[in-house]
Amino acid sequence: MQLTITPQALEWFQKEIQLEPGMGIKFYGKVYGKTQVHDGFSVGLSVDRPDKPLVETTVSGILFFIEETDEWFFKRYDLVVDYNSKLDEPTYVFEESKG
């Protein structure tokens, strides 16, 4: 599984979220909503400290991660975090994992 943050999404995170040392942006599966691969679930995000990361990436000094406990939600997919300028918020694209 890979976690990719587009430059436009990174700019949004840098503008909107202030992080304390050791903290990062966690993506997780949450009840309600819909993704292109899940009915009844959507992607949530929170500011958190990693405990047991399944995948993590640091971009321009910001840590982004998904915990092992959310493997069920992201299994078999790579997550691309992009930005929707009309809604002024991140968007999430699930791509079949090649690995």
Question: What's residue 58's pLDDT?
Answer: 95
Q: How confident is the chain (99 residues) per 10-residue block, as mean pLDDT?
A: 96 93 91 63 90 95 95 90 95 86
Question: What's residue 12's pLDDT?
Answer: 96
Q: Pull the structure tokens for residue 31.
A: 């009840």
User: Model-level pTM greater than 0.85?
Assistant: yes
CATH code for position 25: 2.60.300.12
Question: What's residue 98's pLDDT?
Answer: 78
Nearest alpha carbon to residue 54 among 34, 69, 33, 39: 69
State how far the alpha carbon of 49 is from the alpha carbons of 11, 21, 25, 65, 82, in Å. Answer: 21, 9, 8, 9, 22
Per the structure, the count of domains in the chain is 1
Question: What's residue 33's pLDDT?
Answer: 60
Question: What's residue 21's pLDDT?
Answer: 84
Range of the domain at 35: 3-96
Question: What's residue 28's pLDDT?
Answer: 93
> Cβ of 86: how many Cβ atoms within 10 Å?
5
* Phi, psi of 74, deg, nearest 5: -105, -5
Non-local CB neighbours of 92 within 8 Å, separated by 6+ positions = 27, 35, 43, 79, 80, 81, 82
The secondary structure element, H or E, covering residue 46 is strand 39-48
